[in-house]
Amino acid sequence: MTDLSVHHHYWEDADGELWGDFNDPMENVRRDFQAYRECQNFLTPTEIVHIRQQLQLSVRTFTADLGLDVSTVSQIENGERLQTKSQDNLFRWAQGDCFSSTQNSKK
């Protein structure tokens, strides 16, 4: 993997203490996930949802067809979890793409 650079956002109070955004406490985690997906060339949650919707499948049917757990895919689609390379390959396969080798993703 190449170097991964992620910029986090914090609020600084008058005493110099850093705080996350109370209205968006997952902001920095989302940025981390986005940077990692880009680095690994993984599909985004929006792309995964689009694949499932194009197939006209519910999350339950989609996950059963792929042999994945409903809660895992739901968390991936909602940006709360990163997919593994094998899961990303399954999503791409469902889309009609070829699998990508873990050997090809290492730099």
Q: What pLDDT, on the 0 to 100 scale, is given for residue 1? A: 52
Average pLDDT, the chain: 84
Q: What pLDDT, on the 0 to 100 scale, is given for residue 25? A: 73
Q: What is the pTM of this model?
A: 0.73
For range 6-28, the mean pLDDT = 76
- In this structure, which amino acid lies at residue 13? D
Q: Where are the domains of the chain?
A: 26-105
Residue 37 pairs in a beta bridge with none
For range 34-42, the mean pLDDT = 91
Q: What pLDDT, on the 0 to 100 scale, is given for residue 107? A: 40
pLDDT in tens, 56-104: 999 999 999 999 999 999 999 999 999 999 999 999 999 987 655 444 4
| Fold of the 26-105 domain | 434 Repressor (Amino-terminal Domain) (1.10.260)
Q: Supply 46's token pair.
A: 């929006």
CA distance 33 to 96: 24
